[in-house]
């Protein structure tokens, strides 16, 4: 069993909310009802941010110009030389040390969410610092609106025992992380199980990710 690093159990201690049960992911295409694999593709409706499980054919047929759906990509990029100072992070006013950011076409701005026991919670902030962060990290200009996000994990960094982690990844992976936290959170600090699940999630990202260093093209 994987050991839980010190400090992780108290990282979300301020989020004292009840867990609501999460339904299991559908195993059929939500557009044609065909069976799909566990690692199936997704479409998203940008206006409602609703994810749809789809087969390969429907993900192509129903995405693109003239439809209300956008296809969620698969690439995962680990940003090895990401520039984000502690001061910049604090200016974003995210209440915990983990969040994801993406450009919302309907909102015409970058939005920020953080995972909590109640689900994905929007951080109500102006993101005035975002332009400086984006200018310091040109890879962010390449994120596809609505379907790709910057995931920031500074939980270990905030407690002085791991380096921060930064990924550009599909938006459905962000909601997968939210679901893991929501389904496994117990008590006020989360409990051991939820931190094992979070650790496994980030281990999986590391295995899949293409490492991008400063100045490299995605």
| pLDDT over threshold 50, residue 19 | no
Strands lying side by side in the sheet with 41-45: 50-54, 41-45, 70-71
How far is 113 from 123, CA to CA, in rounded Å?
6
Please tell me the predicted confidence (pLDDT) of residue 23.
52
- The pTM is what? 0.83
What's the pLDDT band for 24 if we cut at 50, 70, 90?
low
| Nearest of 81, 59, 73 to residue 102 by alpha carbon | 73
Strands of 131-215, DSSP E: 148-153, 165-170, 210-212
**How many DSSP H helices and E strands does the chain contain?**
6, 10
How many CA atoms are closer than 13 Å to the CA of 41, on its beta-carbon side?
21
138, two tokens: 């040109």
Q: What is the pLDDT of residues 47-66, one digit of tens each?
A: 999 999 999 999 999 887 67
How far is 187 from 203, CA to CA, in rounded Å?
25
Sort strands 165-170 and 109-116 into parallel, antiparallel or unpaired.
unpaired
Please tell me the predicted confidence (pLDDT) of residue 2.
43
Residue with the bigger pLDDT between 82 and 195: it is 82
């Amino acid at each position: 069993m994987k050991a839980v690093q010190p400090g992780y159990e108290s990282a979300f201690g301020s989020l004292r909310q009840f867990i609501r049960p999460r339904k299991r992911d559908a195993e059929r295409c939500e557009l044609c009802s065909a069976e799909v694999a566990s690692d199936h593709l997704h479409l998203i409706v940008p206006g409602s941010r609703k994810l749809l499980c789809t087969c390969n054919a429907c993900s192509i047929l129903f995405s693109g110009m003239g439809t209300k759906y956008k296809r969620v990509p698969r690439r995962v990029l680990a940003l090895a030389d990401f520039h984000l100072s502690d001061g910049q992070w604090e200016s974003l006013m995210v209440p915990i040390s983990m969040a994801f950011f993406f450009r919302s076409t309907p909102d015409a701005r970058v939005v920020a969410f953080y995972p909590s026991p109640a689900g994905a919670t929007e951080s109500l902030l102006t993101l005035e610092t975002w332009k400086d962060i984006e200018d310091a990290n040109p890879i962010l200009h390449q994120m596809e609106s609505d379907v790709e996000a910057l995931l920031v994990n500074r939980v270990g960094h905030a407690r002085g025992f791991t380096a921060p982690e930064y990924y550009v990844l599909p938006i459905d992976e962000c909601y997968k992380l939210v679901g893991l936290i929501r389904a496994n959170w117990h008590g006020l600090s989360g409990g051991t199980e939820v931190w094992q699940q979070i650790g496994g999630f980030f281990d999986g990202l590391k295995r899949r990710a293409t490492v991008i260093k400063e100045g490299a093209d995605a």
